[in-house]
Structure 1
Amino acid sequence: MNDGKSTISKQLVEIFENVMQVEHEFVNTNVGKKLSMSEIHTISAVGSDMLCSMGEIAEKLHITVGTLTVAINNLVHKGYVERYKSEKDRRIVKLGLTKQGKVIFSAHEAFHKNLVDAMIEDLSEEEQVVVSKAMLNLKGFVDRGYQSIQTAKH
């Protein structure tokens, strides 16, 4: 691996190792709560605007509905998520955030905004396009890996 690729590889490893910890501290410090990253990401997947089904959220998080049910039960108990039954079909349950859940969601969104702002700080528009292309390439690599894992499971 040439020096440029080696440097990028080392930087990616450091970022992946540290970003979740920094994200966790940022959200918990800003909301004065102690939530796990799993809880924060579940709250984020529920979102702040529209009601979502369990299946939709499980798909976003790449987990089973059964695993999500355990997480949602915990978040309902803690007061971050509410369940809403459909008026038309009582079997259909949608999820939404409580006021407390929306505070967590907003703090998490703020972290991501700050992360992107820091990443593109002092970059020209052309350089931002290159970064965006590199991120798409990385996302494609990760998505292909995820798809091959899913295919191997079935």
Structure 2
Amino acid sequence: MSEEYSQINHFLVNVFNEVLRTEEASLKTKEFHNLSIREMHVIEAVCEGAQTAKNTASEIASSQRITAGTLTTTINTLEKKGYVKRRQDQRDKRVVRIYPTEKGETANKVHASFHHEMVSAIMSAMDEEELAMFVKGLAAVQEFLETNKKC
């Protein structure tokens, strides 16, 4: 096993875990202390879905690669916490759409701010050529994950 292989493997595992830990810690403000990172990612999907009219339970579950049952449990919890609300579709009463509340939108903005700070810090540490290589490497990681996803 080459030194580069070991470094890349160690880096990917550690960075993935550290991003999740740091991302969750960034939410642990007084206002959002009761959110898990999984719940935050569902709120993020609800906010995105509400903007594109892809905010039914099945569309959100699919985007998060979780089961409908898991999403239902999470939405029930988030609704009780005041982050999301369900509404019947005005055109098709059989369809229920999920929307963020003001509190949910605020949590999503805090979460987006974390992502912005992280990306900005990475970009400011590299020149244009290094950024191009970094993007190329990340694209290879994404392609691998897309090719190997099980859901």
Do 2:32 and 2:107's aligned partners in 1 also have CA atoms closer than 8 Å? no
Match of 1:97 in 2: 100
**Distance in 2 (alpha carbons) for counterparts of 1:69 and 1:32:** 21
Match of 2:116 in 1: 113
**Distance in 2 (alpha carbons) for counterparts of 1:136 and 1:106:** 26
Match of 1:23 in 2: 23
Do 2:27 and 2:110's aligned partners in 1 also have CA atoms closer than 8 Å? yes
Q: Tell me how far 1:53 sits from its aligned partner.
A: 1.1
Unaligned segments of structure 2, at least 5 residues = none
Counting matched residue pairs gives 148
Do 1:24 and 1:36's aligned partners in 2 also have CA atoms closer than 8 Å? yes
Do 1:46 and 1:97's aligned partners in 2 also have CA atoms closer than 8 Å? yes
Do 2:84 and 2:101's aligned partners in 1 also have CA atoms closer than 8 Å? yes
Aligned-residue Cα RMSD (Å) equals 1.7
Q: Deviations over 1:20-65 (max 9, x none)?
A: 1110010222744221111111111111652511111111100112
Whether 2:33 is the aligned partner of 1:33: answer yes
Match of 1:135 in 2: 138
Matches within 5 A, 1:34-113: 34-47=34-47, 50=51, 51=53, 52-113=55-116
Alpha-carbon spacing, 1:30–1:23, altered in 2? closer, same or farther (3 Å): farther
Do 1:30 and 1:107's aligned partners in 2 also have CA atoms closer than 8 Å? no
**Distance in 2 (alpha carbons) for counterparts of 1:38 and 1:56:** 16
Match of 1:126 in 2: 129
Q: Tell me how far 1:79 sits from its aligned partner.
A: 0.6
Match of 2:8 in 1: 8
TM-score by length of 2: 0.89
Range with greater deviation from structure 2 (67-76 or 111-120): 111-120
> One-letter code of the match for 1:132?
V
**Distance in 2 (alpha carbons) for counterparts of 1:30 and 1:137:** 38
TM-score by length of 1: 0.87
Do 1:42 and 1:61's aligned partners in 2 also have CA atoms closer than 8 Å? yes
Q: Deviations over 1:82-116 (max 9, x none)?
A: 11211221111111110100111011111111111
- Write out the 4+ residue segments of structure 1 that deviate beyond 4 Å after TM superposition: none
**Distance in 2 (alpha carbons) for counterparts of 1:90 and 1:44:** 25
**Distance in 1 (alpha carbons) for counterparts of 2:125 and 2:90:** 51
Unaligned segments of structure 1, at least 5 residues = none
**Distance in 2 (alpha carbons) for counterparts of 1:91 and 1:32:** 33
Q: Tell me how far 1:4 sits from its aligned partner.
A: 2.5
